[in-house]
Amino acid sequence: MSEQQPLQDVSKMAIPTIPSLSPQVPKQNGLWSSNPVFSYLNDVYTNIAEHRKSLGLTNPGTVENLSKEVTRDVFANQYFFTGLRADLNKAFSLNPAFQTSHTLSIGSENLPPYAFSALYAKEDFFVQGNVDNDLSFSGKVNYGWDEHNISKVTLQIAHNQPVMCQLEQDYQANDFSINVKALNPTLLNGGFTGVAVASLLQSFTSKFAVGIESMYSRQALSLPPDSAVNYFARYNAGNWIATAQLQAQGALVGSFWRKVTDRVEAGLETQLVASVKPITDSMMGTPIGYEPVVEGQTTIGAKYEYRQSVFRGQLNSAGKVAVFMEKRVLPTVSILFSGEIDHLKNSSKLGVGLQFESAGNEQLMLMQQGLVDANGNPVPGAPQM
């Protein structure tokens, strides 16, 4: 099923703000303090907690968002489309947020001819659903139990494709994040089948964090299971961020993000993949051995954010150039343009779209036009109503 463009990035509403609290120290009473072994363990925990507090550690984010500043914010891959496209978005309320969207497309490689989306979000709850003209459905539900725990459920039912269900649990503490997810898990056949992934990202200083991810996969009980371990590192200096990933498949991925000015961001990503390739006899055509092969690709991109438009452009070492631009021509109308040129394949792709926004009440309409703020107060410098 084709992935739908989000109505608005309001998923953060389902992720409660993480308070800057120090780790909780076990209470000094009862058996915990009277027993010598427990008392020693308590002292060790207290010393570690005090040391972590003195380092001024912060939450490093999640492994899934390790390099989001480059891959999601700067690069155009998440926004690229082909063909003609028209979006009609309507907001009915802001608190709680309730929005709907209709998307029409012609000649697109990754968008259906028609798709409908709806979104509802509160401070601790978020639900979004998409359905297209083939009745393929995708939905996501996030629920924040408290300041640290968030449960997520993702469901996809596509035409002529197997059903996909993913269960996920996030735990975000003051200086580390734990994520556990399972894709199509089942125990009905006498054992576990599906995919299970667990990851940990821990801050060691206020800027540096390292992480590990372990994956276990088993498609059927008659087949042997597969497992893999990935390693991560992230350094956040404020105006620039560097990340590194060592994947079990033999891939090394590095990224670098830089805040050039208040309106300009730049990003770079390099991938190196090591593998083996069979060597065949030139006369007989039979394999006679293997040779190591190292392949790599580097992508560099930039994002320019103007008052009424946003431009993203990128270039990779394979000779592919891609751009995406969103230009607001009216308070409720935007023009979308995406293009790609592959010099090695001598091919090109083009996408043009219109995005319309409407409001369910007068206050939302005035907010879309930039005349009032979220509280209904006039914006300084805006035209008089």
Cα dihedral 103/104/105/110 (nearest 10): 30
CATH number of domain containing 66: 2.40.160.10
Confidence grade of residue 276 (pLDDT, cut at 50, 70, 90):
confident
> Which has the higher per-residue pLDDT, 370 or 10?
370
User: Among positive and negative, which fits the CA dihedral 101, 106, 110, 112?
Assistant: positive
> Which has the higher per-residue pLDDT, 287 or 146?
146
pLDDT at 372: 54
Residues 171 and 111 in one domain: yes
Answer whether 59's CB lies under 8 Å from 18's CB. yes
Mean pLDDT score of the chain, rounded to an integer? 84
- Does a structural domain hold residue 18? no
pLDDT at 384: 52
pLDDT at 26: 46
- Does a structural domain hold residue 252? yes
Pairing of strands 226-236, 83-94: unpaired
- Does a structural domain hold residue 64? yes
Interval 308-351: pLDDT, tens: 999 999 999 998 999 999 999 988 899 999 999 998 888 999 99
Q: Decide which of 56, 76, 106 is a domain's last residue.
A: 56
Whether the pLDDT of residue 290 is over 80: the answer is: no
Whether the pLDDT of residue 257 is over 80: the answer is: yes
Confidence grade of residue 250 (pLDDT, cut at 50, 70, 90):
confident
Confidence grade of residue 370 (pLDDT, cut at 50, 70, 90):
low
Residues 71 and 95 in one domain: yes
Whether the pLDDT of residue 57 is over 90: the answer is: no
- Does a structural domain hold residue 294? yes
Residues 42 and 103 in one domain: no
Q: Decide which of 9, 35, 56 is a domain's last residue.
A: 56
pLDDT at 364: 62
Whether the pLDDT of residue 18 is over 60: the answer is: no
Residues 37 and 155 in one domain: no
Interval 153-194: pLDDT, tens: 999 998 888 899 999 999 998 889 999 999 999 988 788 899
Confidence grade of residue 33 (pLDDT, cut at 50, 70, 90):
low
- Does a structural domain hold residue 11? no
Residues 34 and 122 in one domain: no
Whether the pLDDT of residue 2 is over 50: the answer is: no
Average pLDDT over residues 122-127: 92
Residues 84 and 230 in one domain: yes
Confidence grade of residue 288 (pLDDT, cut at 50, 70, 90):
confident
Answer whether 166's CB lies under 8 Å from 154's CB. yes
Q: CB neighbours (10 Å) of residue 343? A: 11
Residues 275 and 360 in one domain: yes
- Does a structural domain hold residue 36? yes
Confidence grade of residue 207 (pLDDT, cut at 50, 70, 90):
very high
Lowest mean pLDDT among 43-52, 70-79, 95-104: 43-52
- Does a structural domain hold residue 17? no
Residues 88 and 226 in one domain: yes
pLDDT at 9: 42
Number of structural domains, the chain?
Answer: 2
pLDDT at 287: 73
201 phi/psi in degrees, rounded to 5? -125, 120
Domain range enclosing 100: 57-368
Q: Decide which of 19, 40, 56 is a domain's last residue.
A: 56
> Which has the higher per-residue pLDDT, 360 or 350?
350
pLDDT at 105: 95
Q: Determine the straight-line distance between the first and last CA of the chain, rounded to whole angstroms.
A: 45
Whether the pLDDT of residue 282 is over 90: the answer is: no
Residues 133 and 46 in one domain: no
pLDDT at 291: 77
Residues 97 and 234 in one domain: yes
Whether the pLDDT of residue 255 is over 60: the answer is: yes
Residues 179 and 293 in one domain: yes
pTM equals 0.78
Residues 31 and 95 in one domain: no
- Does a structural domain hold residue 341? yes
